[in-house]
Amino acid sequence: MGLSPGGIAMPIDYREPRPSPGGIAMPLGGIIQTYWVYESDDGLEYKMFDQHISKVLDLAYIKDPNNTNVEVNTIINGKPVSWIFNFVNMTQTNINTGSRRRIFRRSHQSYI
């Protein structure tokens, strides 16, 4: 048995690490989940990206965390939207409007 950060006994997984949905290895009986958030228009809170956008961002970030030109295209409310993500400055820029906001990569570990 291993100990969780809270000191609770947790089973240790001795198998080879497997990729999680966010692309991070599963350590010692837990799973690290990664997601991305963006600054709201009023700048007062952060909201989670849709799961498919988060996955695209995470795969690009794992491949090259210094990438400053990751283009993501999607449909929001029936309209096409294109963004450029800069992982160095952690910003998202709307290609059509030029508006820019902050983004963050978040992760947490959950135990089985």
- Distance separating alpha carbons of residues 94 and 53, to the nearest angstrom: 14
Q: Note the maximum CA span of the chain.
A: 54
| Close Cβ partners of 63 (under 8 Å, ≥ 6 residues apart) | none
Q: Which CATH architecture has domain 2-111?
A: 2-Layer Sandwich (3.30)
User: pLDDT tens across 27-45, in order?
Assistant: 555 666 889 999 998 989 9
Tokens found for residue 12 = 């240790």
**Which of 7-11, 37-41, 74-78, 79-83 has the least mean pLDDT?**
7-11
Could you give phi then psi for residue 85, rounded to 5 degrees? -105, 135
Where along the chain do its domains lie? Answer: 2-111
Q: pTM for this one?
A: 0.68
